[in-house]
């Protein structure tokens, strides 16, 4: 299909028109077409002359784009030098600037967003396209488009039906990397929490999370990824063990080993040291409640547990479920003390989950 590229009949150098020989799609008038110029050089029939330096020619793979000069405005001087912009490359179609590392269609979507800004329609992009726009906007210093794209991505990620509920590790890697690069700590934390949840549900491998969390120094995600790495290393039918993983660096294996010995020691401490709870106003003999709590805790901790010793968080959940079903606990403690005692187990789990980094020496 032949494509005719031409400058529009206007002095606005930001506007570039792509005209195809085919008819407009249903409901689309020719005047509403995307303000982009893109064509293979063999298909480009004509490019009308335009004001000097109002545009540059740019090649992606085998396709040429006529790009407004404003597209390069926020690039730092070193990038201008790197791509040949400063030396005048791209002034003629025979010597275009060359962009690589992405497809023609990905760059076309970025240029579409650049020219459409600030009236960009989010609904016209898939999640994959939005991620690509975000990544290329960061790569090519399109700060306005990047700000729009990261805001749109945050809305999607934090939606009740977030795609991260079923996303692959690769998608988590991409969105988290963007959140970090765009300096969005709240978005970064939200993504980390969702990833950690998926790790604890045994839905994703912890290795990709370890790799990116280590690169960007994301301590919370890294500690939970190390934790789940240790849990998956254990076998229910064998004694606890630590084994170096060849996929991890020596330093990462060292942190995992620190966590192994620390968590094993901590669980043995917890077995004989139940979490404390405050005396309720209705309790007349709190010492009796405390002693009964300790006895039932010891009894529950001696029960056969389906979780490995290293999995302190799951073991505490098992302990809580066991004690909630313990009829003697309800007899020996006041109602208020029993409620607070069980709540202390939840608090202990939360405390451990929020401070796992200490066990891994992070």
On the 0-12 / 13-18 / 19+ scale of CB atoms within 10 A, 36 is: buried
Length, in residues, of the chain? 362
Residues 54/69, Cβ–Cβ less than 8 Å = yes
Mind giving me the DSSP string for 199-222? HHTT-S-HHHHHHHHHHTT-HHHH
Residue 6: its H or E element: strand 3-6
- Of the candidates 318, 197, 309, the one whose C-alpha atom is nearest the C-alpha of residue 242 is 309
pLDDT tens track for 36-69 = 443 333 333 233 334 457 899 999 999 999 999 9
Cα–Cα distance list, 300 to 274, 278, 280, 309, 317 (Å): 11, 21, 23, 14, 12
Cα–Cα distance list, 349 to 66, 145, 174, 226, 302 (Å): 58, 42, 30, 17, 19
Average of per-residue pLDDT values in the chain: 85
List, in sequence order, the alpha helices (H) in 201-307: 206-215, 219-233, 250-272, 286-301
Residue 7 has pLDDT above 60, yes or no: no
In whole angstroms, give the CA distance from residue 312 to residue 295.
Answer: 20
Region for 90 from its dihedrals, namely left if φ exceeds 0, alpha if ψ lies in -120 to 50, beta otherwise: left
pLDDT tens track for 258-303 = 999 999 999 999 999 999 988 877 788 888 889 999 999 999 998 9
DSSP structural state of residue 30: G
Residue 111 contacts by C-beta under 8 Å, 6 or more apart in sequence?
36, 38, 65, 67, 71
Residue 191: its H or E element: helix 185-200
Model pTM greater than 0.85? no
Cβ count within 10 A of residue 235: 10
Q: Where are the domains of the chain?
A: 1-21+33-100, 271-359
């Amino acid at each position: 299909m032949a494509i005719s590229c031409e400058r529009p009949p206007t002095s606005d150098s930001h506007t570039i028109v792509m005209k195809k020989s085919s008819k407009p799609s249903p409901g689309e008038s020719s005047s509403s077409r995307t303000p982009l110029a893109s064509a293979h050089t063999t298909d480009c029939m004509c490019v009308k002359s335009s004001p000097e330096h109002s545009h540059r020619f740019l090649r992606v793979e085998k396709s040429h784009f006529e790009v407004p000069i404003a597209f390069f405005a926020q690039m730092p001087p070193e990038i201008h030098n790197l791509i040949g912009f400063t030396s005048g490359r791209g002034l003629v179609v025979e010597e275009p600037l060359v962009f690589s590392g992405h497809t023609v269609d990905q760059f076309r979507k970025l240029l579409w967003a650049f020219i459409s800004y600030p009236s960009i329609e989010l609904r016209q992009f898939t999640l994959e396209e939005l991620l690509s726009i975000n990544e290329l906007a960061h790569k090519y210093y399109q700060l306005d488009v990047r700000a729009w794209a990261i805001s749109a991505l945050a809305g999607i990620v934090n939606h009740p039906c977030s795609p991260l509920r079923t996303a692959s590790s690769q998608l988590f890697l991409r969105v988290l990397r963007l959140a970090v690069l765009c300096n969005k700590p709240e978005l970064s934390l939200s993504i980390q929490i969702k990833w950690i949840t998926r790790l604890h549900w045994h839905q994703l491998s912890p290795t990709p999370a370890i790799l990116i969390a280590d690169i960007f120094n994301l301590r919370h995600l890294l500690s939970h990824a190390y934790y789940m790495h240790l849990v998956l290393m254990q076998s229910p039918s064998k004694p606890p063990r630590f084994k170096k993983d060849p996929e991890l660096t020596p330093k990462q294996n060292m942190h995992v080993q620190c966590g192994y010995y620390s968590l094993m020691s901590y669980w043995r401490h917890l077995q004989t040291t139940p979490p404390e709870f405050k005396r309720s106003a209705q309790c007349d003999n709190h010492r009796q409640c405390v002693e009964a709590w300790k006895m039932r805790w010891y009894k529950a901790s001696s029960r056969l547990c389906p979780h490995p010793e290293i999995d302190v968080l799951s073991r505490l959940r098992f302990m809580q479920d066991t004690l909630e079903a313990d009829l003697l606990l309800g007899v020996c403690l006041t109602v208020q003390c029993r409620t607070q005692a069980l709540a202390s187990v939840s608090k202990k789990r939360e405390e451990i989950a929020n401070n796992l980094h200490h066990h891994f020496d992070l």
